[in-house]
Structure 1
């Protein structure tokens, strides 16, 4: 056997466990879910082929589908920009050369690694309309706080507010981006008479756009998968105002046992996130700046 052939076989041999694992635990379930999306399947009986009926019902008869999609779009539309702006501001603060800055970075980052269930329970107490920490604090100033989780007008904003708790995760990425900006650019800007604010808009922000681009993509993908907060804190209420898409999909699959219908919902979600991701990628050429490139 030739040496090149032997090396190729050894490469495939070492690669095969990962490939087999992907095909068994990811590839097959993905393909099977696509098949199930064209069937009526309740776990207890064999899947029954019904063609595009699941998709037809989804888009023409299921009003809660549109409601859950609208709730999720609302969450993404507000949580992603807010977490982006706040993440950059916190990263700018954490990028200062002051005593104890590493401790502050750790403190800001820690909430992002706490279990999602624990965070949901904590915020359920904070946002409780009767004896929650937030309304108790507001009462000291004579302000009657709303029912954050029981008032339809405040339930989704409460979820957006809660999402800012984990801004430390994006802050770390922005901090890495800030520390990667060449000092020579700031020195050149200073020599040209640019102040701190102008340096931020003309140097820091353009050099940070690849990092912003990455975090926006991850934020959109994560926003469409929001589940634990609503499942633990509200169950989708009040009046389905926090019935996010992933929660509705879960209810269809594991409460109503409509696995075929839930699989169709999953593929619709894939299509939506794919389209949004492609739009962001397409528009990135107009606002993302890469060092050493003329592309914006």
Structure 2
């Protein structure tokens, strides 16, 4: 019996072996190496030596661009994450209605999530929002979307907001799981649609809201494609996201050690934001197995 048990355990390990190898070689090993590089002055294709915390000291005390990029990144998150989730929820509620040809529209609204992060779409966005581009000509205005620091960050944020399909699919699945009898009971009590939305819909899908918030913050912190292609970090570094700054420091300035240190600080910022959200989630996330209580 013990021999068969051990054999079954090894079979299980063999099934998950591809994931284990992928995690060790493609995630854990690069993570450890990047931390080691952050303590050196390594350059592209060159030798390096141990420098301790010099990269971190330089980052906090001497690099003004670091604080500027961090501020831009936080503004970007505050625009992208709420905007994407609001649009995703609105569209999910529309697609949850019983309408003719609704399956076609569900597929159609998911397409931006497949195409939105590509370089080609970012290049198209740049053409659309040029001063003589499609958007200005369509609405008869003359706004310098890409050349004015007031509008540039908002413009590249729209690319990320536009690809709300993945969040929309999750919201749609969550809406399907909300018990219909809750709405029927609320109607009997005389509740309107707005009250039902805030008292039934939002609490019942709050675990998915939490998941979407975390995932979209991670995506926003990692983004650099749209800023790199559309604005190049300008004007006046108003769109110089941390992802773009790390890319420039690593591959344009060949300063891999410093870029690795920046990556770790960005990782710690992500951990901090995620931790705060999880701690506060007990006050607004509803789980069905909690006996009807919050948290």
Find out whether 1:235 has 2:232 as its counterpart: yes
Q: Tell me how far 1:203 sits from its aligned partner.
A: 0.9
Find out whether 1:268 has 2:275 as its counterpart: no
Q: Tell me how far 1:17 sits from its aligned partner.
A: 4.3
Give the TM-score, by structure 1 length: 0.94
* Counterpart mapping for 1:208-223 below 5 A: 208-223=205-220
Q: Tell me how far 1:239 sits from its aligned partner.
A: 0.9
Find out whether 1:70 has 2:71 as its counterpart: yes
* Counterpart mapping for 1:1-296 below 5 A: 2-114=3-115, 116-130=118-132, 132-139=133-140, 144-293=141-290, 294-296=293-295
Change (3 A) 1:214 1:16: closer
Change (3 A) 1:12 1:94: closer
Gap runs ≥5 in structure 1: none
Number of matched pairs: 291
Give the TM-score, by structure 2 length: 0.94
2:207 & 2:3 partners in 1: Cα distance?
Answer: 45
Structure 2 counterpart SS, 1:2: helix
C-alpha deviations, 1:50-77, integer Å up to 9, x for none? 0000000000100111111111100001
Q: Tell me how far 1:25 sits from its aligned partner.
A: 2.6
Gap runs ≥5 in structure 2: none
1:282 & 1:98 partners in 2: Cα distance?
Answer: 40
C-alpha deviations, 1:73-125, integer Å up to 9, x for none? 00001111111212111111111101111111111111111152122012111
1:20 & 1:163 partners in 2: Cα distance?
Answer: 32
Change (3 A) 1:14 1:160: closer
Change (3 A) 1:271 1:239: same
Structure 2 counterpart SS, 1:292: helix
Structure 1 counterpart SS, 2:240: coil
